[in-house]
Amino acid sequence: DAGVTQSPTHLIKTRGQQVTLRCSPKSGHDTVSWYQQALGQGPQFIFQYYEEEERQRGNFPDRFSGHQFPNYSSELNVNALLLGDSALYLCASSLVGKGYTFGSGTRLTVV
Amino acid sequence: AQTVTQSQPEMSVQEAETVTLSCTYDTSESDYYLFWYKQPPSRQMILVIRQEAYKQQNATENRFSVNFQKAAKSFSLKISDSQLGDAAMYFCAYRGISNFGNEKLTFGTGTRLTIIP
């Protein structure tokens, strides 16, 4: 049973560019959440998707957007990248009301 | 808004000994979940243990147990018989259950645990 798969594992982008990160949830899970983890910090909630809609959003600017597809996979898009967007981006999937399964993350470096 | 505080940035323990990691939180909700997650160098968050606030009994998972003090808003993790594989970052996390869909996790800043052979 595959767990949560994230791609790519590492990414280097230039300030001002746009980036798309991808997440395939654990089999049977229908909810996907995204977290940003800056170096030395705990993960911060970005947003959560359920039934292809954004259900809840954390304190992140509109430069951060997402999408969930009918097969429950999800994308996180970040526009106009800033140096401060450099972080580990974690995807977590779950069934409504159940526990999370996390992926291993995408390490984004903005130069 | 809920907050989670971990006041120990780093801890170390001798192999086979016992260590306790501290966590406090702040919330106005009466019912919620608390978690301890482990993050090894592989970066994946792994659930260690979970506690429902309405349960008075402290959760236990093999060598891992918690001391949940609801009135004090304290949630510590005890690791017994520490093993080299326990070395990782440990995060305390809170999740509310008062509203459908209110399932985001609020994390602390983490404690880096080192196991001394």
- State residue B35 phi and psi, 5-degree precision: -135, 155
Task: Collect all residues of chain B within an 8 Å Cβ-Cβ radius of residue A107.
Answer: 43
CB burial of residue A5 (10 Å; 0-12, 13-18, 19+): middle
Chain A CB within 8 Å of residue B44 CB:
yes
pLDDT tens-digit map of B72-110: 999 999 999 999 999 999 999 999 875 555 578 999 999
- Residue B65's pLDDT is 97
Alpha-helical regions (H) of A12-101: none
pLDDT tens per residue across span B2-32: 899 999 999 999 999 999 999 999 999 888 9
Chain A: closest CA distance from residue B22 (Å): 15
Whole-angstrom Cα Rg for chain A? 13
User: Minimal Cα–Cα distance from A97 to chain B, Å?
Assistant: 8
Total residues belonging to chain A: 111
Contact state of B4 with A96 under an 8 Å Cβ cutoff: no
Closest CA to A56 of B105, B94, B9: B105
Chain B interface test: which of A56, A106, A108 (most B C-beta within 10 Å):
A56
